[in-house]
Amino acid sequence: MNTNYIKLGIALISSITLVSCGGGDKSAQQQQGPPPATPVSLSTVESKPVTTVDTYPGNVVALDEVELRAQVGGYITGIFVKDGQKVSKGQKLYEIDRTKYQAAYNSAKANVAVAKANRDKAKKDAERYTKLAEQDAVAKQRVDYALTDLANAESQVAAAEANLASANSDLQRSIIVSPLNGTIGISQVKLGAFASPGTTLLNTVSTNDPIAVDIAVNQAEIPRFRALQSASAVKDSLFNIQLQDGSIYTAQGHITAIDRAVDPQTGTIKVRISYPNSAGKLYVGMTVNMRVLNKATDDQLVIPFKAVVEQLGEYNVYVVGDSSKATPRMVKLGKQFDKEVVIREGLKQGEVIVVDGVQNVRPGAVVQDNTAAAANGQQPAAAAPAAKK
């Protein structure tokens, strides 16, 4: 009996203890209340004009460039220009051994003289026999022979003159002159080197002022660049070149050509933009970044980029609704510029979103706007500490 009374007493004490503990927790929860609001900075979604900068890799190219190749064979007997020198059209650059070409020209010239002398003799004979035939003093057949000899002599003169023209052409081609005003490169041959006709590259001449930059743009952008090409006035800042050292070449550029066809493998088309280059800062073959201003035709929804939260390749923004509760919403981003980004889908103008403190916000949490306090240099309101048990 005593044992049973002892067990019953222990059970009653345990029940009283459990009730006491449970009541204490409930009381503590009632004293603690709802979670404090999370301090954040808010912003209103705005619609405004947007001008972004599109960057394209580009290559500097010459508007005019000519490879100098030997048109006749022979040894290089003269180089009359320094590497990298500016040259003018018609300036003498290289000379190929002219000995045999001069001899061929002289021979052809002598053959023309002989052919003309034979023609003159045949012409006189034909005239003489024709007059004699009118007097029946010579056979008609003889006249025919004389006229045939004259025709042959005329043909020989024509052939001799053609040979002379060919020999003169070879003689002239033994002197290589500049085909344009520009800058010549580093010579590919030395004195005494043998040049084969049509294959040996002697040098390259190209213009450097003006100069151009080629970029490849997506075929979807063709209408935009067509409009830029036909624009009557182009701002200096529309096409800017960023050099490899980070500096910006701000001379005014304009589109001179859009290629005839789209590359089917890349889906891009080549656009050529010309620039003045009097200072010589741009060199053919340089790789640069072309920065092209892109002004949207309509106003765009814009928010600070730091308001965007990325999760597994998806982008979300916390939108503040009724009772100051923040709810995540998936959005589609447009172009980013400066510290802002265009919103293509997911938000509406006038909606309020969380900007600063977004990392502390949980779905459905109540937030408190500290934008005004931050602007005045005050510390944001801190969450109330939890009550101790």
Number of H helices, E strands in the chain: 5, 24
pLDDT at 329 over 80: yes
pLDDT at 85 over 80: yes
pLDDT at 237 over 70: no
- 139 falls in which pLDDT band (50, 70, 90)? confident
Q: Which of 22-36, 172-186, 331-345 has the lowest mean pLDDT?
A: 22-36
What is the residue type of 197? P
Q: Is 0.95 surpassed by the pTM of this model?
A: no
Q: Top-level CATH class of 38-50+299-375?
A: mainly beta
Number of residues assigned to the chain:
389
Segment 356-376 shows an average pLDDT of 75
Vertex 286: Cα angle to 282 and 292 (nearest 5): 75
| Integer Cα distance of 143 and 128 in angstroms | 9
Q: What is the pLDDT of residues 172-189, one digit of tens each?
A: 999 999 999 999 999 999
The mean of the pLDDT values for the chain is 83
Give which of 225, 221, 243 is closest to 234, Cα–Cα.
225
Q: Which residue has the higher pLDDT, 59 or 280?
A: 59
| Integer Cα distance of 339 and 356 in angstroms | 13
- 18 falls in which pLDDT band (50, 70, 90)? very low
- What token pair was written down for 299? 């106003």
Q: Which residue has the higher pLDDT, 264 or 361?
A: 264
SS3 for 316?
strand
| Integer Cα distance of 207 and 349 in angstroms | 53
- 388 falls in which pLDDT band (50, 70, 90)? very low
pLDDT of residue 3: 53
- Residue 56 bridge partners (DSSP): 290
Same fold yes or no, 53-63+210-295 and 98-173 = no
Q: Which residues, at least 6 apart from 68, have a Cβ–Cβ distance to it below 8 Å?
A: 93, 94, 176, 179, 201, 202, 203, 204, 205
- 158 falls in which pLDDT band (50, 70, 90)? very high
Buried b (16+ CB within 10 A) or exposed e, 331-353: bebbeeeeebbbbeebbeeebbb
pLDDT of residue 298: 73
SS3 for 225?
helix
CATH 1.10.20 fits 98-173, yes or no: no
Listed by start position, the domains of the chain span: 38-50+299-375, 53-63+210-295, 98-173
Q: Which CATH architecture has domain 53-63+210-295?
A: Beta Barrel (2.40)
| Integer Cα distance of 10 and 186 in angstroms | 107
pLDDT at 233 over 60: no
pLDDT at 33 over 50: yes
pLDDT of residue 364: 84
